[in-house]
Structure 1
């Protein structure tokens, strides 16, 4: 989406507005334009500390705007390097880290201003990830009874690295020889990627598999571009439970796990059963809209897990897997969907005189929408009305009752989304903005 803007400004000598991007006859050879940030910047950036990182912001305008990077939380400027050409380029630079691996997380904005007003880019999160080589892998599993499901998870030993690595595949060894490479769910194998740590589920484990020393290993890959650490293979065995009379149950450490996914992707929600056949599992769904409990037919289960094919926003809500009485335990997931935020404003341009009543309307689409707000020349402007129309649509209105000289400038509408996961809550997920541009002589 290419941002657009309206600059509301006024001439003391001429009360009437002239055409869009028009200047007086005295300055026809020098058209004036409000600042415009040209860079198309994504909302999230990750880099390894040993590599360093550079991010460019360029802007245009007449008079030529001054550009700077600021920290979004403190609104304080940060050191940057600039190049002056037909437009200005300002680089936000992070130096390579030498020595102890270091983590940092900050949110920045690019700011441009000239005599016609000020604009800010949407917020941009930049996460410096500590580079560790080699990356040690840890595994978690539980003892398995014959005929039940084995669940194995893997993750980097350093907790700070967990969000930045994902499972590429799992390898199964039997009697020391390679048996299967699993990179998707099929048959009695489930490749789970919706959890904090990747999981492999093997349903209906046999006595022969346990006696033949079945082992598994996971292959992790970095989600951070630019450098890849050595990840030594580590094989872990399935452990057989020899204790008789253990009642089956569902093992869950969280009340409700937040799961955020893109639309039209297959989603597999795991049911962490222990010491019981997966055929006993029951899945229930409480839709976000109706709040009425629905039992999901077993035809949509796979190895006791729930499979949603090409899931869409109509399937948002809380999903829970249970066992019939007297078995205990429950695992619940709040499934929400993600769609890129887009911001649109009406009108595209506005003719303004002293004393006019001005109404600016902002419409945001996408998911999730956590925050919508207005800025006037970089300063917060209180909205006169804000309303969520649906799960993926939000409207906000800024009203100026009597337009005056202090109302001159650039108006922007911003929308933001943040993570809602235990390790990531409050971190920026997505951010978008749009601005009004018009010119008065």
Structure 2
């Protein structure tokens, strides 16, 4: 069993009785009405019906099975009613919701013979069913001359499911015979039959034609709730047999979901909605005239009750003030009432009820018990329950003693808590040795009993005792206060700069109370440095020194460094900035314009200077004939760091070139930019003649001339050739 199950508490319903209709049938019958509650100690139960206590000892019809009520051989009249379950244990009593219990039954018809009905041919007739006592949904039918099948309804014959009566609009000769009303209980499935009603049709005088007369119609006003199904009956007597039609009196069309039985004239509206409300009209017509009947369907805006705020158990000290509130929503708007231990709670000197709000001031032990808030309207009720435990006890420091030892720095502030369990709340006083402490400039006893001392000095060291008293007794708890010298950083890290590849030490040295052991932590850009994983960082020193060594510094090590020192009594920190200088980053987006035979205009964007200003740029070029990148001549010869364009000169005509730019600062040469788009210089007349020209040999009359060809990169244009 868990601790929560071991806690002693009042009863709480886990199952409550609900509205029920039980079918009645012959033979022995046993009906259960459910009720179950948890509690420690386990609750015992009793029941009420229609407000009267049920005595299960003297009334053999009733018995209990745990909390459930058993009804033996129930009688549909004697045992129908409103039932309520009541659960009680040592902490109080709660009552369940009220449950309406009914029994579906159907008694037999009287066997008394029925009178003969004589009617003229062409006349209308109404045969009364006169059903016996019953409860539950009934279905009415008629049997003609003992036939196995029930009489079929049509435009001439109609059976009302409200009264069971049979209506014949115009009697024919074939209608003569015996008529028996059959009533079926839809819950018990029992069917009973009336004595036959003989009908004699007089043929000597035939009834003449006459205008319709509506004999069966729905109520003038009908309230309908959302989602329910509505069936409207309308039937007229007349000769000729009248036809039935429906319309809305406001001129709006009938809803498309409406079902009309054209043979009987019934109209059914399933799933009623607010827009279905209005005045409905049934019209009966024949050749002699018309007759109409109206009725209004009114939307009944009913919403089930539901809680939006319920009660919570309250364990409160004696003399405290209780405020409980419950809230429910529903239509119509709910009313509230309150119960204590199952009985109506009346406003008294200390108790005040305002709808769903209950307040009790200066609680006493006698106020302990089970309370219930009941929200109700015409269509139902909700019960919310909670337990009020009023606690009365002397002060007890067992679970929350004064802290045994509190260490604080000189000049700091200390808060010593005194929080005993006590009901009612204890009066608190503080003592140092044998001296009663009083409020002063530096020390103050707060309303909750906490002792606060500011600007602590060495003289404040010692033992402090909290004494707690209430009506039921007194108790005390003692703790000691130890004052230490504050920690100070005497050699802080200084903001500095370094070049990539160098190493440096950021110092952090403290002075602290000799009895304390400071713990050093370093943070880089807000994140704690993990010395086990970061090879560039190392903590050096020891004791009251925790210097940070940064080895082989890289650009990414620029940022803010914080040395944080923790001791048992305080925390101090110091910060510094480290700037790492490195060769410049790569220039951006070199663009070539102004292309001639031997020059181009080149421009670019500056890259990062990495904390050291760019002093100059150099331009490099690459052709299909060069080995890698070569530095080229520019105007100006040396491009200064603040200039981001230059003219590249002394290029070869009609050669494909790519260019890139390199930045230089005092730290070194940076990374080159990305290459520019490949371009070709314009063509020009060749400026280089063939070399090593010689002649000789050959046949008589011939001269063979030889030379070294001009290199392709010096041919200066297309269709290069030699002329002699």
Partner of residue 110, structure 1: 85
Q: Which residue of 2 aligns with 1:361?
A: 327
Residue 433 of structure 1 is aligned with which of 375, 378, 382? 382
Shift of 1:119: 2.5
SS in structure 1 of the partner of residue 53 of structure 2: coil
Quote the residue 2:55 is aligned against.
Answer: 79
Q: How does 1:10-159 map to 2 (within 5 A)?
A: 29-36=6-13, 38-45=15-22, 47=24, 54-60=31-37, 61-72=39-50, 75-80=51-56, 88-91=66-69, 93=71, 105-127=80-102, 132-133=107-108, 154-156=129-131, 158=132
Aligned counterpart, 2:265: 305
Matched, 1:413 2:413: no
Question: Relative to structure 1, is the Cα distance of residues 152 and 407 closer, same or farther in structure 2, using a 3 angstrom cutoff?
Answer: farther
Contact in 1 for aligned 2:127/2:166 (Cα 8 Å): yes
How far, CA to CA, are the matches of 2:117 and 2:376 in structure 1? Answer: 41
Structure 2: how far apart are the matches of 1:316 and 1:140?
44
User: Cα deviations across residues 127-146 of structure 1 (Å, max 9, x unaligned)?
Assistant: 46887446659899996985
Determine the C-alpha separation between the residues in 2 that align with 1:308 and 1:229: 26
Deviation string 1:99-139 (CA, Å, 9 cap, x unpaired) is xx976753221222234443222223344688744665989
Matched, 1:250 2:214: yes
Segment drifting more, 55-64 vs 297-306: 297-306
How far apart, CA to CA, are the structure 1 residues paired with 2:77 and 2:17?
Answer: 28
CA displacement at 1:269 relative to structure 2: 0.9
Q: Larger Rg: 1 or 2? A: 2
Residue aligned with 2:6, SS: coil
Q: For residues 239 and 371 of structure 1, what CA distance do their matches in structure 2 show?
A: 59
Q: 2:357 aligns with which of 384, 399, 418?
A: 399
The alignment's TM-score, normalised by the length of structure 2, stands at 0.39
* Corresponding residue number in structure 2 for 1:271: 234
Q: Distance in 2 between matches of 1:350 and 1:259?
A: 38
- Aligned partners of 1:260 and 1:94: how far apart in 2? 37
Distance verdict in 2 for CA 1:214–1:400, change over 3 Å: same
Gaps of 5+ in 2: 348-353, 392-724
Q: Report what 2:693 is aligned to.
A: none
1:170 touches 1:216 (CA, 8 Å); kept in 2? yes
Unaligned residue ranges in structure 1 (runs of 5+):
1-20, 286-291, 384-395, 418-429
- The separation in 2 between residues aligned to 1:309 and 1:206, in whole angstroms, is 31
Moved more, 306-315 or 250-259: 250-259
C-alpha distance in 2, partners of 1:191/1:129?
A: 22
Q: How many residues align?
A: 361
Q: Deviations over 1:223-257 (max 9, x none)?
A: 564x9475367466596894436443223699636
Equivalent residue, structure 2, for 1:7: none
1:427 maps to none
SS class of match (2:55): coil
- 1:240-389 correspondence to structure 2 within 5 Å: 242-244=206-208, 246-251=210-215, 256=220, 258=222, 263=227, 265=229, 267-275=230-238, 277-279=241-243, 283-284=247-248, 296=254, 301=260, 302-303=262-263, 305-314=265-274, 315-316=276-277, 319-321=280-282, 330=293, 332=295, 334=297, 342-348=304-310, 350=312, 354-355=320-321, 357-364=323-330, 372-377=335-340, 378-380=342-344
Higher relative contact order (CA 8 A, sep 6+): 1
Question: Would the aligned equivalents of 2:106 and 2:185 in 1 still touch at CA under 8 Å?
Answer: no
- Contact 1:47–1:53 at 8 Å: present in 2 too? no
